[in-house]
Amino acid sequence: MKKNNTGDKIITIIGYLIAILWLIPLVWMVGTAFSEPSFKMSLFPKTAFTLDNIKYVWNAVPFKTYYINTILIVIVTFTIQVFTSTMAAYALAVMDFKGVAIVFVIIFMQIIVPNDVLITPNFMVLRELGMLNTKLGIMLPFLGSAFGIFLLRQHFKSIPKSLAEAARIDGATTWQIIWRIYMPCAKPAYLSFAVVSISYHWNNYLWPLIVTNSVNNRTLTVGLALFAKSKEANLQWANVCAATFIIVFPLIILFFILQKQFIDSFMSSGIK
């Protein structure tokens, strides 16, 4: 028992140390964003608290447009992903058709392939379709999610088929079975997928940078990168950190509000 307690304490200490290391960049960013500009860098701010950096950045860069674009892209992409992933996961988990194993393997292989590898072929396809520099062009390669299909398929397989059979005997259609049985039972999996999808597309940088070339279609991350290189940044880390804070603030608030649900959903979905 003593050995186990000692081991648990060591693991806890290591966990705290790792957490502190991960928090250092966030603490520095927040502190610098709300302190007066200075050419000296320090972990904790040494100047007075101020909101001038946030006001300056918000007025110097069209963050309102970037916010609208990003929120629209994230919501539409996730909504369509939920529909396509649910349909595919139900087919792979419940329906018995020829080649189901092969289809599942092909979808699973897409999880292994990084999205950055597909940038060139995706770009060429969008160019042929005339969809470059459009919001739909940013979303199109991600409207189907191999990760979402895999996650929901694994969760659907754990749901007893007797529930669906009883509902079908009562006259329920396939869509009603999916909507009223499988989707409610897989709520933890959907929440886990929401965390992954929303955070990924909110922070996605490379693909929107390549596809877009106008303010009307740029996302927050692209706007931040362009601002950091612009004269409006004034070579001040305070301004860059203020712009970064504007971008990450919604995700931080969302995490603190729903952190318990996030952790519970990942645990119940088997994500470690």
Q: Which CATH class is domain 58-266?
A: mainly alpha
Q: Tokens in use for 201?
A: 């597309």
First-to-last CA distance in the chain? 26
pLDDT for position 1: 46
Which residues belong to CATH 1.10.3720.10 in the chain? Answer: 58-266
CA 260 to each of CA 79, 107, 191, 263, 267: distance values in angstroms, whole numbers, following the listed order: 23, 30, 11, 5, 11
Q: Tokens in use for 9?
A: 């304490």
pLDDT for position 61: 84
CA geometry: angle at 87 spanning 83 and 88, to 5°?
A: 115
User: pTM here?
Assistant: 0.86
Residues 47, 35 contacting (CB under 8 angstroms): yes
The H-assigned helical ranges of the chain are 2-33, 52-60, 63-93, 100-112, 119-129, 135-139, 146-157, 161-169, 174-177, 183-185, 187-203, 206-211, 220-229, 237-268
Low-confidence residues of the chain: pLDDT under 50: 1, 271-272
pLDDT for position 272: 45
Residue 271 DSSP one-character state: -
Residues 147, 78 contacting (CB under 8 angstroms): no
pLDDT per residue as tens digits for the range 248-265 = 988 888 877 777 766 666
